[in-house]
Amino acid sequence: MLVIDLEMIMFMFFSAGAIFSAVLAVEHGEIVYAAFSFGFASAYVAGIFLLLDALYLAVIQLAIFTGAISVLIIFGVLLIKREKRGLSAEPTASPKRRAVGFSLASSIVLLAFVLIMQVPWPDAPPESNLIHASSLEELSLSLWGIYALAVNLVGVFLLSSIIGCVVLLRKEKDETVIQYRQKSGGRGENG
């Protein structure tokens, strides 16, 4: 039987906010607001992590998704030149494409819901987990124990992505400076 207590009210608030912000992030006409909505959706998901006793991951989620990634996307949007014909160079999707996408997404959700209903899920976490779930010590032991190789690989991936970004965008910068100097008629060199 469903009991409405403070935890359930907070869960409903966070989940409704996350889903509404995610829909806004996908459907909002202005892409800057869509990026803001994505940041809000990530913050609501961090609230759900808090309800799951994953305190450290909620903080990481707020710092990386809400802080870093949404700001990165907003900067990316600002650096991309707009087309004249519309806001944020947003091409409109055809009704057929929209219908196909909606039917695909709704069929995935419905199939997953039907499968979820077949399984007797636990109603509450086991008592022993409540002590361990928010423990930073357990998390670090797990990270540097069996997942130490994965952590190192993630570090290598981050390094290679930084180097990749620099290599991808560096060449164009020289070309842009040459174009700018040609446009300004050599004024850039004099002063």
Partner 1 sequence: MIPLSYYIMVAIVLIGVGVYGITVKRNLIRILISAEIIGNGVNMILIAFSTYSILFTMTGQTLALLIIVLSAGHTALGLALIMLFNRRYRTVDLDRARELRG
Q: Contacts with partner 1 in 112-141 (CB under 8 A)?
A: 112-113, 116-117, 119, 121-126, 128-129, 132-133, 138-139, 141
18 sits near partner 1 (criterion: CB under 8 A):
yes
Closer to partner 1 by CB, 164 or 188: give it.
Answer: 164
CA atoms 24, 85, 94, 78: torsion sign: negative
30 sits near partner 1 (criterion: CB under 8 A):
no
User: Which of 30, 162, 178, 179 touches partner 1 (CB under 8 A)?
Assistant: 162
Collapsing DSSP to helix, strand or coil, 36 comes out as helix
Closer to partner 1 by CB, 106 or 187: give it.
Answer: 106
87 sits near partner 1 (criterion: CB under 8 A):
no
User: Which of 158, 179, 181, 188 touches partner 1 (CB under 8 A)?
Assistant: 158
- Note the Cα 118 to chain centre separation in Å: 30
Give, as ranges, the residues between 65 and 84 that touch partner 1 (CB under 8 A): 65, 68-69, 72-73, 76-77, 79-81, 83
> Binding-site residue total for partner 1 (CB under 8 A)?
87
Q: Could you give phi then psi for residue 3, rounded to 5 degrees?
A: -105, 125
